[in-house]
């Protein structure tokens, strides 16, 4: 079987992905999956369908799932449920949130606890201090006092979260606290789309929302899934290797190279170490394969902050999850858990050194 790989480019300013899908054709009897791509939630969404006729329907179903969640979780819409919780910060009244919102926030808070705050869904004030999330661009670095104040407001322990039969009641205990679900909401949106598409009978399809992907079936008979390329964080045109994403699996990436602010000529990337209120340095990208997209999204950010040793230790509590890290240093190095290292096939075009983590490394 001849595999013809045809990378599909995502417009650079909008893409937030390390990943690059490689479509594969299998001769005339097996046409390539069709890719339908559109813009939503400030990023690029796409569905790839083996059944070309099913693509418009799949696109509409996926977009309806994204729309439903965006109404709840948008950080930009003043009338979203997320905005209502943030606006009520510091008041004595809790805000009732929906089951979907409660699921995402509950998982985000659990990940914060599990990672000892490396993943922090209350990071909003720190993001704004650096000029992200609609804040004015910074003429100079934030002062230590401003960062200390933003850090204090990002205390994820100062959230009251009480599950109810219809979702949860939430209260942010200090005024000016801000929930930021930017590291998890797109993953959950992909899961919701995946569930609706599966329930509607769609087969052999890949969903992508800004680099959060989840598979249904396979791209071609006996392929075993969908071929996913891992891009070099240093050159978006270079694919360093690929692996097969199996039926039901999800993959997510976090990187330091596509969303950043520039202050006095220096770039600061959008993933923060909330213990210091400083952008994480030293890491260029992480990729996580997981049984669902919300987990993949949350963990890609978490292990970006934690690094390979602590990150792989945390992954031991997440069956079916594998990761790779690409440090922000030349020459190109990939550090991978044994499971992902075994699945990664180098293209050979971009040489790199592979370090495989010990299965039980502390």
- Residues in contact with ligand ADP by the rule CB under 6 A: 16, 119-121, 123, 127, 180, 182-183, 210-211, 254, 259, 270-272, 274, 297, 300-301, 305
Rounded least distance, CB 259 to ligand ADP, Å: 5
Rounded least distance, CB 176 to ligand ADP, Å: 17
Alpha helices in the chain (DSSP H): 55-73, 81-87, 99-114, 124-129, 144-153, 185-199, 293-315, 338-343
Closest CA to 294 of 69, 117, 46: 69
Give me the sign of the Cα torsion angle 93, 68, 162, 134. Answer: negative
**Helix/strand/coil for 52:** helix
Closer residue to ligand ADP, CB minimum distance, 55 or 192: 192
Sheet of 34-40: strands edge to edge? Answer: 34-40, 43-49, 205-209, 212-216, 250-255, 283-290, 322-327, 333-336, 353-356
Rounded least distance, CB 154 to ligand ADP, Å: 9
Q: Pick what 237 binds: ligand ADP, Mg ion, none; C-beta below 5 to 8 Å, kind-dependent.
A: none
Rounded least distance, CB 32 to Mg ion, Å: 29
Determine the Cα–Cα distance for residues 68 and 148; give it in Å rounded to an integer.
36
Select from 52-60, 159-167, 235-243, 298-306 the region that touches Mg ion (CB under 5 A). 298-306
Residue selected from 183, 216, 251, 335 as contacting Mg ion according to rule CB under 5 A? 183
How many angstroms separate the most distant Cα atoms in the chain?
Answer: 65
Residue selected from 70, 180, 208, 297 as contacting Mg ion according to rule CB under 5 A? 297
Q: Pick what 230 binds: Mg ion, ligand ADP, none; C-beta below 5 to 8 Å, kind-dependent.
A: none
Closest CA to 121 of 159, 152, 84: 159
Rounded least distance, CB 306 to ligand ADP, Å: 10
Determine the Cα–Cα distance for residues 83 and 19; give it in Å rounded to an integer.
31
Rounded least distance, CB 212 to Mg ion, Å: 8
Q: Tokens at residue 291, please?
A: 């049984």
CB 240 within 8 A of CB 228: no
Select from 139-147, 159-167, 192-200, 300-308 the region that touches Mg ion (CB under 5 A). 300-308
Rounded least distance, CB 270 to ligand ADP, Å: 4
Q: Pick what 100 binds: Mg ion, ligand ADP, none; C-beta below 5 to 8 Å, kind-dependent.
A: none
For residue 6, list its beta bridge partners.
23
For residue 326, list its beta bridge partners.
285
Using CB under 5 A as the criterion, what x/- string covers residues 112-151 for binding Mg ion?
A: ----------------------------------------
Closer residue to ligand ADP, CB minimum distance, 33 or 182: 182
CB 155 within 8 A of CB 116: no
Q: Pick what 142 binds: ligand ADP, Mg ion, none; C-beta below 5 to 8 Å, kind-dependent.
A: none
Closer residue to ligand ADP, CB minimum distance, 128 or 223: 128
Determine the Cα–Cα distance for residues 223 and 218; give it in Å rounded to an integer.
6
Rounded least distance, CB 57 to ligand ADP, Å: 27
Closer residue to ligand ADP, CB minimum distance, 190 or 219: 190
Closer residue to Mg ion, CB minimum distance, 155 or 180: 180
Closer residue to Mg ion, CB minimum distance, 10 or 251: 251
Residue selected from 154, 300, 312, 337 as contacting Mg ion according to rule CB under 5 A? 300
| Long-range contacts (CB closer than 8 Å, 24 or more residues apart) made by 135-140 | 137/261, 138/261, 138/263, 139/263, 140/263, 140/264
Q: In degrees, to the nearest 5, what angle opens at C-alpha 300 toward C-alphas 132 and 305?
A: 65
Cβ within 8 Å of residue 66, ≥6 positions away: 40, 41, 45, 189, 193, 209
Rounded least distance, CB 272 to Mg ion, Å: 12
* 89 makes contact with Mg ion (CB under 5 A): no
Q: Tokens at residue 246, please?
A: 């199996």
Residues that bind Mg ion (CB under 5 A): 183, 297, 300-301
């Amino acid at each position: 079987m001849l595999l013809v790989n045809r990378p599909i480019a995502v417009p650079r300013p909008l893409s937030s992905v390390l990943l690059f899908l490689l479509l594969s054709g299998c001769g005339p009897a097996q046409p390539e999956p069709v890719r339908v791509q559109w813009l939503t939630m400030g990023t690029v969404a796409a569905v790839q369908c083996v059944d070309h006729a099913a693509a418009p329907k799949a696109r509409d179903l996926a977009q309806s799932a994204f729309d439903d969640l965006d109404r709840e979780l948008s950080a930009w819409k003043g009338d979203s449920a997320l905005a209502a919780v943030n606006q009520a910060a510091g008041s004595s009244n809790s805000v009732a949130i929906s089951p979907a919102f409660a699921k995402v926030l509950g998982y985000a808070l659990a990940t914060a606890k599990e990672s000892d705050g490396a993943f922090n869904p209350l990071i909003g004030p720190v993001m704004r201090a650096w000029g992200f999330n609609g804040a004015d661009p910074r003429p100079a670095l934030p002062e230590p006092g401003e960062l200390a104040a933003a850090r204090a407001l990002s205390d994820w322990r100062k959230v009251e979260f009480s599950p109810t039969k219809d979702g949860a009641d939430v209260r942010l205990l200090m005024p000016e606290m801000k929930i930021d679900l930017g590291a998890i909401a797109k993953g959950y949106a992909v899961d919701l789309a995946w569930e609706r598409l599966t329930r509607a009978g769609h087969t052999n399809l890949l969903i992508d929302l800004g680099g959060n992907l989840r598979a249904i079936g396979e791209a071609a008979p006996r392929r075993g899934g969908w071929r996913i390329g891992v891009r070099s964080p240093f050159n978006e045109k270079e694919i360093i290797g690929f692996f097969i994403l199996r039926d039901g699996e999800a993959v997510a990436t976090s990187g330091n190279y596509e969303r950043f602010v520039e202050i006095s000529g220096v770039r600061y990337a959008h993933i923060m170490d909330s213990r210091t209120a400083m952008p994480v340095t030293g890491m260029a990208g992480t990729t996580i394969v997981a049984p669902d997209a919300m987990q993949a999204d949350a963990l890609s950010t978490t292990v970006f902050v934690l690094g390979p040793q602590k990150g792989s230790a945390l992954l031991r509590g997440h069956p079916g999850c594998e990761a790779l890290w690409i440090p922000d240093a030349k020459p190109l190095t990939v550090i991978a858990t044994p499971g992902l290292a075994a699945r990664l096939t180098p293209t050979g075009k971009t040489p790199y050194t592979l370090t495989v983590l010990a299965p039980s490394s502390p």
